[in-house]
Amino acid sequence: MNDIVNGYLAAWNARAEERSRLLEEHFAPAVSYTDPLAQVSGRGELDRLIDGVQAQFPGFVFTPVGAPDSHHDQVRFQWGLGPDGAEPAVIGFDVVVLDAEGRIADVRGFLDKVPA
């Protein structure tokens, strides 16, 4: 379970070339991602979304908050986004569903704390 969360957050923190490798390793080809601000399908669209978030929050990193929880093929976890080592400016909660190979096939994201 921690491997899934760590792979997920590593992809969101990685730059282009490394991110492409992480997306291929941890996400299904037709991954679906939905949160209050975006809805994308496929690794390519997710890659572009991550690139946009990194541009919007330069120097920020995603970190896990608390322990993940799982059952069957689903994992839920909370994350923070902020400057490395500082209090997160954004806190969110994601639920991921895994495919038969254990890759992330679907993401449902929620935002618990956002900057004013």
What is the strand order of the sheet 60-71 is part of? Answer: 38-41, 27-35, 104-113, 90-98, 74-83, 60-71
What gap in Å lies between CA 79 and CA 95, rounded to an integer? 11
Report the share of the chain in percent with pLDDT over 70. 100
Task: Give tens-digit pLDDT for 58-116.
Answer: 999 999 999 999 999 999 999 999 999 999 999 999 999 999 999 999 999 999 999 87
Q: Which residues of 11-30 are buried (b: 16+ CB within 10 A; e: fewer)?
A: bbbbeeeebeebbeebbbee
The confidence score (pLDDT) of residue 116 equals 79
pLDDT of residue 7: 98
All structural domains of the chain? 2-113 (3.10.450.50)
Mean pLDDT of 9-16: 98
Tell me what pLDDT residue 96 has. Answer: 99
Residue 92 three-state SS: strand
52-55: long-range contacts, CB 8 A cutoff, minimum separation 24: 53/12, 54/15
Digit-coded pLDDT (tens) for 24-72: 999 999 999 999 999 999 999 999 999 999 999 999 999 999 999 999 9
Task: Find, among 90, 33, 38, the residue nearest to 61 by Cα.
Answer: 90
